[in-house]
Amino acid sequence: MRNEIKTEEKIESEDNSIEDSEFLEFTRNSIVSILKLWSSKKEQLEYQESDPSINVSSELFEQWNDFYTSDSEVLTEAFTPKQLNQLEKFDTELTIRSNPSNNALPNIIEYMKTEDWKVLNSLSIELLSDFEKM
């Protein structure tokens, strides 16, 4: 008989999950980032210039919808009650001013001339200012 050393096979599992606190931070940062994009005419124009095939007007709405869900438990942990009220106000205004006919929104330069864009831009600036004070 040959001497054999038997070793247990090590099974390594790779855990790619993120911690709850990381997810909360990611969610919060994503929403704040979208608000910053809504608040900045310059960033919106730069975004459009970086990829002319993107409809930035539509992208603003879509990115918000990707991360904001009013009944999300994650949001209630990531934001204060006052911030949640402000986010809900922004979401309501966004819903009112969204494109109900499902026609493509105009390019960002044209959209910036609309009352809808002006209201949402102003509201996002106000929200970010309030968030910084908290």
* pLDDT tens track for 98-123: 866 667 889 999 999 999 999 999 99
Tell me the domain boundaries of the chain. 20-133
Query: In this structure, are residues 74 and 24 in contact, taking their beta carbons and an 8 Å threshold?
Result: yes
Query: In this structure, are residues 106 and 57 in contact, taking their beta carbons and an 8 Å threshold?
Result: yes
* pLDDT tens track for 42-96: 999 999 999 999 999 999 999 999 999 888 888 999 999 999 999 999 999 999 9
Residue 102 φ/ψ region, left for φ over 0, alpha for ψ in the -120 to 50 degree band, beta for the rest: left
* pLDDT tens track for 5-36: 444 444 444 454 557 788 889 989 999 999 99
pTM of the entire structure?
0.81
Spatial CA neighbour of 41 closest among 55, 57, 28: 57
pLDDT at res. 81: 93
